[in-house]
Chain A
Amino acid sequence: DTAVSQTPKYLVTQMGNDKSIKCEQNLGHDTMYWYKQDSKKFLKIMFSYNNKELIINETVPNRFSPKSPDKAHLNLHINSLELGDSAVYFCASRAAGTGSYEQYFGPGTRLTVT
């Protein structure tokens, strides 16, 4: 069974469109994340939710809005897509609390804005 899944795997769209990426984890984790990875492989954290509550909101354009309907799901909605939004977006989850709990990553969604 896939621990952290994302859909779609590839997303090609035009500038100005609105799109969503979905993420689900079946690990029973309380904390979920969205990361953006650019072409140089640099990972930037965007958001973190703990039990449906937003706890990390890095400097991200407000065109990006996360939504967590329940603790197993964290979706990312992007309005008015721009060329610079092209990247790979990763969802991740982690057990609650601090310590040696690693993050589990999804396979990524490659977003291409034309």
Chain B
Amino acid sequence: GNSVTQMEGPVTLSEEAFLTINCTYTATGYPSLFWYVQYPGEGLQLLLKATKADDKGSNKGFEATYRKETTSFHLEKGSVQVSDSAVYFCALDDRDDKIIFGKGTRLHILP
């Protein structure tokens, strides 16, 4: 079945560091891919998405590119801020009315 694998956390970085959170997927066909973010005490919210190969999703300085050849959708940000501390979920559209979520990566940014 379809699945999403993302790097385990927690990831701890200093402010202004470069961030990469790896995500790979297994799917038949061409799923849409998402990154969701969950800030402390809140629900998940969509951060960015990509719907086809080579698409780049971007939002709030975060970017991810849909790489079909490597089945990856890594999340990157050039300079993180303390306010980026949250849990990040990679996900894919299972095309069966269901979104498959990865296990989440907790990110801590130190001032």
Contacts and interface: CB of A to CB of B under 8 A. Distances in A.
B56 interface: no
B45 A105 contact: yes
B46 A102 contact: yes
Contact of B32 (A31, A42, A48, A100): A100
Contacts of B89: 43
A100 B51 CA distance: 6
Interface residues of A, number: 25
A98 interface: yes
A43 B101 contact: yes
Interface in A64-114: 90, 92, 94, 98-108
A37 B32 CA distance: 23
B21 interface: no
A45 B99 CA distance: 9
A59 to B, nearest CB: 14
A89 B53 CA distance: 33
A50 interface: yes
Kindly list the 3 A-B residue pairs having the minimum CB-CB distance in the complex, ordered from nearest: A105-B43, A98-B95, A100-B51
Given A56-B97, A92-B44, A99-B51, 18 more contacts: A4-B43, A31-B97, A41-B38, A41-B87, A41-B103, A41-B106, A90-B44, A98-B95, A99-B32, A99-B93, A100-B32, A100-B51, A102-B49, A102-B99, A104-B46, A105-B43, A106-B43, A108-B43
